[in-house]
Amino acid sequence: MKIILNNTEEELTVENMSVSDMLKYKKFSFRMRIIKINGELIPKEKYDSTIIHDGDNVQMIYLMSGG
Partner 1 sequence: MILEIVIPKYLYLYLIFAAKQVQMRISEIENHLSKFRVGIAGAGGLGSNCAAALTRCGIGTLVISDFDIVDSGNLSRQFYFINQVGMDKTSALKENLTHINPEINIIAQQVKLNETNIPVIYAGCDVIVEAFDRADMKEMIIKAVQKSMPGIPLIVGSGLAGWGNANKIRSRKIDDTLYVCGDELSEISEELPPMAPRVGIVAYMQADAVVEILMKNI
Calculated CA dihedral for residues 48, 54, 55, 59, nearest 10 degrees: 20
Count CA atoms closer than 13 A to 60's CA, side-chain side.
21
Q: Shortest distance, CB of residue 54 to partner 1, whole angstroms?
A: 20
Q: Which is nearer to partner 1, 25 or 30 (CB)?
A: 30
Which range, of 16-24, 34-42, 48-56, touches partner 1 by CB under 8 A?
Answer: 34-42
Q: Which of residues 1-30 bind partner 1 (CB under 8 A)?
A: none
Q: Distance between CA atoms of 52 and 58, rounded to whole angstroms?
A: 8
Provide the binding-site residues for partner 1, judged by CB under 8 A: 31-32, 34, 36, 39, 41, 43, 59, 61-67
